[in-house]
Amino acid sequence: MPTRFARGWHCLGLEKKYRDGKPHTVNAFGKKLVVFSDSKGDLKILDAYCRHMGGDLSQGEVKGDEIACPFHDWRWGGDGRCKQIPYARRVPLRARTQAWPAMCQDGMLFVWNDPEGNPPIAEQAIPRIDGGPDTEGWTDWAWYETRVDTNCREIIDNLVDMAHFFYVHHAFPTYFKNTFEGHTAAQIQRGVSREDLRPAEKAIGGPKRTGNTSIATYHGPSFMIDDLIYHYESLDDVRTVLINCHYPIDENSFMLMYGISLQRPEVADDEDPEVLAQKMVQTTRIGFEQDVAIWRNKTRIDNPLLCEEDGPVYQLRRWYDQFYTDVADLEPEMTDRFEFELDTTKPVEAWQREIEVNLARRAAALESQDA
Please write the tens of the pLDDT for every residue from 259-306: 999 999 887 666 687 888 888 899 899 999 999 999 999 999 999 999
- Average pLDDT of the residues in 186-205: 83
pLDDT at 143 (0 to 100): 97
Contact between 327 and 335 (Cβ < 8 Å): no
Q: How many CB atoms lie within 10 A of CB 143?
A: 17
User: Would you state the pLDDT for residue 302?
Assistant: 92
Helix (H) or strand (E) holding 83: strand 82-84
Name the CA dihedral angle for 367, 211, 287, 106, rounded to a multiple of 10 degrees.
-160
pTM confidence score:
0.94
Cα–Cα distance between 212 and 76 in angstroms, integer?
49
- Which sequence spans correspond to the domains of the chain? 8-124, 142-354
How does residue 371 score in pLDDT terms, banded at 50, 70 and 90? low
User: What pLDDT, on the 0 to 100 scale, is given for residue 292?
Assistant: 96
Candidate CATH numbers 3.40.50.2300, 3.90.380.10, 3.30.450.20, 3.90.650.10; the one for domain 142-354: 3.90.380.10
Alpha carbons 41 and 65: distance in angstroms, whole number: 9
Nearest to 81, CA basis, from 46, 41, 111 = 46
Q: What percent of the chain has pLDDT over 70?
A: 97
| Whole-number Å distance between alpha carbons of 64 and 97 | 18
pLDDT tens digit sequence for 196-232: 887 666 667 778 889 999 999 999 999 999 999 999 9
Average confidence (pLDDT) over 137-160: 95
Convert the pLDDT of each residue in 9-34 to its tens digit.
Answer: 999 999 999 999 999 999 999 999 99
pLDDT reported for residue 369? 78
Q: Give the pLDDT band of residue 325 (cuts 50, 70, 90).
A: very high
SS3 content of the chain, % helix, strand, coil (to 5): 25, 35, 35
pLDDT-above-90 percentage for the chain: 85
Coil, helix or strand for 370? helix
Domains 8-124 and 142-354 equal at CATH topology level: no
Measured between alpha carbons, how far is 140 from 322 in angstroms, rounded to an integer?
A: 34
Quick one: which H or E segment has residue 171?
strand 171-181
- Spatial distance between the Cα atoms of 98 and 30, rounded to a whole number of angstroms: 14
Whether pLDDT at 1 is above 60: no
Q: Backbone dihedral region of 131: left (phi > 0), alpha (psi from -120 to 50 degrees) or beta?
A: left
Q: Which of 56, 4, 3, 8 is nearest to 246 (CA)?
A: 8
Summarised one tens digit per residue, pLDDT across range 35-69 is: 999 999 999 999 999 999 999 999 999 999 999 99
| Residues in a beta bridge with 213 | 190, 229
pLDDT band at 235 (very low <50, low <70, confident <90, very high): confident
Determine the average pLDDT of the residues in 228-246. 93
pLDDT of 269 = 67
- Check residue 268 and give its pLDDT: 66
**If we measure between CA atoms, which residue out of 262, 260, 204, 198 comes closest to residue 230?**
262
Q: Which amino acid is at 44?
A: K
- Among the CATH numbers 3.50.50.60, 3.40.30.10, 2.102.10.10, 3.20.20.140, which is that of 8-124? 2.102.10.10
Of 155, 354, 152, which is closest to residue 251 (Cα–Cα)? 152
